[in-house]
Amino acid sequence: MYRHVEKLAQEIRKGAASVDMVSLPNYGRSVPGTLQEDLLSKMSAPPKSDAPLITSNDLAEADAFVFGFPTRFSMMAAQFKAFLGATGGLRRTQQLAGKPARIF
């Protein structure tokens, strides 16, 4: 709502970019939303980020991941949980095996 996670991600990217051997081609992706536009409008939700949506293929092609998401009652956002749930095929075929990952 207030873009705190997006601001943190930008700072993490700055730090990672300061290391010469790090390439960041897929920085700044968002997971697909789970609510319909008309419902978001009725809720007076803020506009969505300009960041492109991440896909399972982006994960398969990445060397590592840093995920950030807001929490609600100490749980990850439903949108992120739905995205992870949709990556079962990648996990089943071991396409994510050995790739370092971090969350914030």
**CATH code for the domain in which residue 81 is found:** 3.40.50.360
pLDDT value of residue 90: 93
Domains contained in the chain, number? 1
Residue in this structure with the two tokens 């990445």, named with its chain if needed? 62
Structural domain of 93: 4-103
CB neighbour burial string for 34-70, b if at least 16 within 10 angstroms, e if fewer: eeeeeeeeeeeeeeeeeeeebbeeebeebeeebbebe
Give the pTM.
Answer: 0.69
pLDDT in tens, 45-101: 777 777 788 888 888 888 888 888 877 778 888 888 888 899 999 989 999 999 988
Q: Measured between alpha carbons, how far is 79 from 32 in angstroms, rounded to an integer?
A: 7
Task: Say if CB 14 and CB 35 are below 8 A apart.
Answer: no
